[in-house]
Amino acid sequence: MESELGKIKVAIAGVGNCASALVQGVYYYRESNEQIGLAHPDVGGYKPGDIEFVAAFDVDRRKVGKDLSEAIFEKPNNTIRFQEVPKIGVTVKKGPVLDGVGRYLREVIRFSEDRDVDIVEELKSSGAEILINYLPVGSEKGSRFYAQSALEAGVAFINAMPTFIASSEEWQKKFEEKGLPIAGDDVMSQLGATVLHKTLIKLLVDRGVKVEESYQLNIGGDTDFLNMLEQQRLVSKRESKTSAVRAMSPYEMPLRIGPSDYIPFLENEKICYIWIKGKYFGGAPLSIDLKLSVIDSPNSAGVIIDALRGVKVALDRGISGPLISVSAYCFKHPPVQMPYEEAKRKFEEFIRGERER
Ligand SMILES: NC(=O)c1ccc[n+]([C@@H]2O[C@H](COP(=O)([O-])OP(=O)(O)OC[C@H]3O[C@@H](n4cnc5c(N)ncnc54)[C@H](O)[C@@H]3O)[C@@H](O)[C@H]2O)c1
């Protein structure tokens, strides 16, 4: 599926599992008329096949120097392979490591010895319109570096991970001043733990149930989960996931939400356990005990494919600064939290041009 509107030129920072699923997905939907798996086959006239990758950055020597179509299948990536990708003609270039590789990732990442490229120059010369940040959780300096590079290169920014950039007033202002849109933070998977948990809490609150406590435990076997064994690095992930659920209730409740363990043989499968305890009519007790099993990276790509087209619509309309509805619909820690239904409605109103952001 491609439209007549032209391409959406995208650069990627961090060629890991999420990038792999996104690149595969663009070719999967471009080469067929398949619509299953897409929440929006069409966003403002743009189809998934309109996305074109023009630059990519990583630090692992198994990826740097390779065509993006090969790099996405290199170790330690371990998501599913659901689409063959032809040569793209984009070589993965070496970005600065900064704080991208934590204590546990050091054991599995093989550092490239190439010299760091000038990211701003690369973004400019590639013609990129949007840069997606897919760095590992806890890459605070790395994420700010890529956001700053996007600003200097005149490129819009999507922050798919939980360093708080799109939700920070300081960064919102910087993008607004440069006339560039920004969306984020921390992509909310298509059918993942966050959207399920927040929707359940909203339902219970709406139906007069007093929720007394809830937890959400997550396990997986990819580098994202390995990295999040480092407690200091996952503080932002915990806050991002918890804030999305917390915002669905008018009252405080004990919540414990976050990544819980790394189980290598799960590879890119992610398992989530949600527990909710509450009371309803006459104080009668209620509990929900739920297990969700998904492949993590296609789950994020199913949303980024909408976010990219939403940001492109903003670029076409000359809208700058934080994209409120795109972010609320596609991310866990947006500038403004909304229940899922409202976020989806506002996203679609924005796409139709019925709201400014
Ligand atoms: N469903 C999902 O998979 C999902 C949902 C929400 C958020 N996220 C977030 O998206 C991010 C990407 O997830 P992933 O599964 O692709 O992770 P990943 O570990 O597979 O990929 C991260 C990539 O970044 C590279 N990298 C590290 N430092 C770098 C630097 N300084 N410059 C350029 N590249 C660098 C690594 O080599 C690796 O290729 C993570 O922060 C994750 O938490 C994922």
| pLDDT (tens digit per residue) in 285-306 | 999 999 999 999 999 999 999 9
- 325: three-class secondary structure by DSSP: helix
- pTM, entire model: 0.98
Q: Mean pLDDT across the chain, nearest whole number?
A: 97
Angle between helices 17-30 and 296-317 (to 10 degrees): 70
Q: Which pLDDT score is estimated for 187?
A: 98
Measured CA to CA, the distance from residue 318 to residue 153 in angstroms comes to: 16
Q: Among 108, 134, 300, name the best residue to mutate to test ligand 1's pocket (greatest count of ligand atoms within 8 A of Cβ).
A: 134
Measured CA to CA, the distance from residue 53 to residue 179 in angstroms comes to: 23
**CA 318 / ligand 1 centre spacing (Å):** 29
Q: Which pLDDT score is estimated for 107?
A: 96
Q: Please tell me the CATH code under which domain 193-296 is placed.
A: 3.30.360.10
Look up residue 215 and give its DSSP letter. Answer: E
Q: Which helix (H) or strand (E) holds 301?
A: helix 296-317
Atom of ligand 1 nearest to the CA of 237: 43
| Tokens matching residue 97 | 């490591």
**CA 269 / ligand 1 centre spacing (Å):** 15
Q: Which pLDDT score is estimated for 30?
A: 95
8-188+298-351: CATH architecture: 3-Layer(aba) Sandwich (3.40)
Name the nearest CA neighbour of 249 among 220, 295, 212, 275. Answer: 212
AA identity, residue 266: L
The residue whose two tokens read 């996405």 is 72
Q: Which pLDDT score is estimated for 162?
A: 97
Measured CA to CA, the distance from residue 83 to residue 194 in angstroms comes to: 27
Count Cβ neighbours within 10 Å for each residue of 255-278 and write b for 16 or more, e otherwise: bebbbbebeeebbbbbbbebebbb
* Smallest CA separation from ligand 1 atom 25, residue: 14
pLDDT band at 3 (very low <50, low <70, confident <90, very high): confident
Pocket (CB within 6 angstroms of ligand 1): 13-19, 57-60, 77, 95-98, 100-101, 109, 134-137, 142, 160-161, 186-187, 189, 222-224, 296-297, 299-300
**CA 341 / ligand 1 centre spacing (Å):** 28
> What stretches of 127-285 show up as alpha helix (H) in DSSP?
140-153, 169-177, 193-206, 223-227, 235-246
Measured CA to CA, the distance from residue 294 to residue 18 in angstroms comes to: 14
What residue ranges do the domains of the chain occupy?
Answer: 8-188+298-351, 193-296
